[in-house]
């Protein structure tokens, strides 16, 4: 099994005395079920795995909201004795029996000694229906996405490269040969992507043709799932949006660019469902006048990024051989691929219990418009603009405008070059403005939050 960093918070949850039932949320096929199985095996825990797609005899009892009766029925049907101190009850695919979410409240209140985890595919579609809801305050949430670049390196046995990334500090240089090696590995990650099944196939040395077959199968599975939930959805429109978004990555989304035959309101509702299902992520425009960044979020202005960069390649029918050997990302999809890469790595750095949210900044003025790809904050509550360049060069005009306008001390640029630091000075009507520009290679995107917390 391929190791996931989420094992650590899972272990922490299991060992806590004050714990609530855990709901793992994430898109289909990101490895939620495998994560639970791996954890149980590593910790030598009795796993009672209940796939709710199967017709278990005890499932109707859940409607009665009697945890003790449910435990007794599970023990009878599985012919086991559940010892709370060394067991884990795992309800998988709970979208088929959403009443399980209701009974979790009573497990928490009356039988907290039982450790319970639930997961589901497109569970968010079900939770969006009025008759179902998460028991607020009685359930812990955990968010799982595709493999990050760092997790990918661990999976393919590139431990030395992983150590370089994890140990890197902002004032260090990276040897030219190491830089080339890390860049090459990043290209492999971009071509393969972060979906566990695809990475497993890559580790098994299957061909790129076989990897593309697997990715196509995952994409088809997403679309087939849309048809399972017709009550509040339009499966055809969901598929149209899903197919259209890879060509619009990095730009402010306009519904008219998706399909002019549908009303904007209908497109907006369907897009929100894809976001609920964690297949699409919105990056919102924010004013950046203070923290938290979400306080000035502009809901009507956003960009969209997809779940996984590897799946995007397959949707766009890009040649994986050319991608893995490309010198610069600006030759692929006009550089939007680089923004998808950075967005995916930024999302992976969020705390496991927080729903990921990303922001960008834009100023729309005649002859003075500017846009920054992403903005983050560090542990000192400083706002840091993040500009993404697909290749080795590119204008920094927007970055300079934002730094001066918002009086910022630090800025980050991602490009294909080795890391470097520039101390910039700009004269303005208010006086001289000084800031430090940290220029980082794309492969350090997964370390950005850690590095931003050390900026002086």
pLDDT of residue 425: 76
pLDDT of residue 229: 62
pLDDT of residue 95: 83
pLDDT of residue 250: 86
Look at residue 412 and give its three-state secondary structure: strand
Look at residue 44 and give its three-state secondary structure: coil
DSSP states of 220-234: HHHHHHHTT--SS--
Q: Cα 368 to chain center, whole Å?
A: 33
CATH class of 7-143: alpha beta
Average pLDDT over residues 433-447: 94
Percent with pLDDT over 70 in the chain = 91
Average pLDDT over residues 226-254: 86
- Place 113 in a pLDDT band, splitting at 50, 70 and 90: very high
| Residue count (the chain) | 456
Q: Cα 64 to chain center, whole Å?
A: 36
- Hey, what are 35's tokens? 């994560």
pLDDT of residue 101: 87
Average pLDDT over residues 91-119: 91
| Continuous segment of H or E residues that includes residue 103 | helix 99-110
pLDDT of residue 428: 61
Widest CA span of the chain, in angstroms?
78
pLDDT per residue as tens digits for the range 211-223 = 999 999 999 999 9
pLDDT of residue 390: 81
Least confident of 87-91, 97-101, 153-157, 445-449: 97-101
pLDDT per residue as tens digits for the range 266-288 = 999 999 989 988 999 999 999 99
pLDDT of residue 391: 73
pLDDT of residue 395: 75
252 contact partners, CB below 8 Å, separation of at least 6: 285, 301, 302, 303, 362
Least confident of 55-59, 72-76, 148-152, 307-311: 55-59
Nearest 5°: the CA angle 146, 152, 154 is 130
- Place 69 in a pLDDT band, splitting at 50, 70 and 90: very high
Peptide bond into 335 cis (omega under 30): no
Average pLDDT, the chain: 90
Look at residue 305 and give its three-state secondary structure: strand
Q: Where are the domains of the chain?
A: 7-143, 150-452
pLDDT of residue 396: 83
With b for 16 or more beta-carbon neighbours within 10 A and e for fewer, the 254-275 pattern comes to ebeebeeebeeeebeebbebbe
Average pLDDT over residues 341-370: 90
pLDDT of residue 393: 67
- Place 331 in a pLDDT band, splitting at 50, 70 and 90: very low
C-alpha gyration radius of the chain: 23
Give the Cα separation of 69 and 58 in Å (integer).
9
pLDDT of residue 190: 93
Of the two residues 136 and 83, the one the predictor is more confident about is: 83
pLDDT per residue as tens digits for the range 378-434 = 999 999 999 999 876 677 889 988 998 899 999 999 999 999 999 987 666 555 678
Decide: 27 and 21 in contact? Cβ < 8 Å. Answer: no
Least confident of 110-119, 198-207, 319-328: 319-328
Decide: 408 and 380 in contact? Cβ < 8 Å. Answer: no
């Amino acid at each position: 099994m391929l190791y996931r960093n989420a094992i650590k918070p899972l272990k922490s949850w299991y060992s806590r005395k004050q714990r609530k039932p855990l709901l793992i949320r994430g898109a289909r096929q990101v490895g939620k079920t495998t994560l639970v199985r791996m954890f149980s095996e590593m910790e030598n825990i009795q796993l009672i795995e209940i796939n709710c797609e199967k017709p278990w005899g005890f499932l109707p009892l859940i409607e009665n909201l009697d945890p003790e009766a449910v435990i007794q029925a599970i023990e009878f049907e599985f012919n086991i004795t559940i010892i709370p101190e060394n067991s884990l009850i795992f309800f998988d695919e709970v979208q088929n029996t959403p009443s399980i979410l209701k009974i979790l409240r009573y497990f928490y209140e009356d039988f907290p000694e039982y450790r319970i985890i639930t997961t589901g595919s497109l569970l968010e579609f079900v939770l969006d229906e009025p008759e179902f809801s998460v028991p607020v305050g009685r359930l812990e949430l955990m968010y799982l996405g595709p493999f990050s670049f760092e997790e990918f390196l661990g999976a393919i046995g590139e431990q030395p490269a992983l150590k370089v990334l994890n140990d890197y500090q902002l004032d260090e240089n990276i040897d030219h040969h190491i830089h080339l090696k890390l860049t090459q590995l990043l290209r492999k990650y971009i071509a393969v992507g972060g979906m566990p099944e695809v990475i497993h196939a890559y580790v098994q040395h299957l061909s790129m043709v076989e990897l593309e077959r697997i990715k196509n199968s995952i994409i088809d599975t997403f679309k087939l799932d849309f048809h399972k939930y017709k009550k509040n959805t339009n499966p055809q429109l969901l598929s149209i949006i899903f197919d259209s978004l890879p060509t619009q990555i990095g730009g402010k989304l306009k519904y008219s660019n998706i399909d002019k035959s549908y009303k904007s309101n209908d497109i907006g509702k369907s897009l929100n469902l894809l976001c609920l299902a964690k297949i699409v992520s919105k990056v919102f425009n924010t004013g950046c006048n203070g923290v938290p960044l979400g306080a000035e979020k502009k809901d009507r202005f956003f960009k969209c990024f997809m779940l996984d960069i590897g799946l995007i390649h397959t949707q766009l029918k890009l040649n994986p051989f050319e991608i893995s050997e490309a010198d610069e990302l600006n030759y692929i999809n006009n550089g939007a691929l680089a923004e998808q890469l950075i967005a995916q790595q930024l999302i992976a750095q969020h705390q496991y219990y927080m729903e990921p949210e990303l922001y960008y900044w834009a100023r729309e003025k005649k002859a003075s418009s500017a846009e920054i790809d992403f903005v983050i904050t560090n542990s000192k509550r400083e706002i840091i603009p993040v500009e993404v360049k697909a290749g080795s060069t590119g204008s920094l005009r927007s970055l300079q405008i934002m730094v001066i306008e918002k009086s910022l001390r630090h800025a980050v640029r991602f490009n294909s070059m080795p890391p470097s630091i520039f101390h910039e000075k700009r004269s303005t009507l208010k006086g001289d403005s000084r800031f430090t520009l940290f220029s980082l290679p794309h492969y350090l995107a997964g370390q950005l939050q850690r590095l931003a917390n050390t900026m002086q």
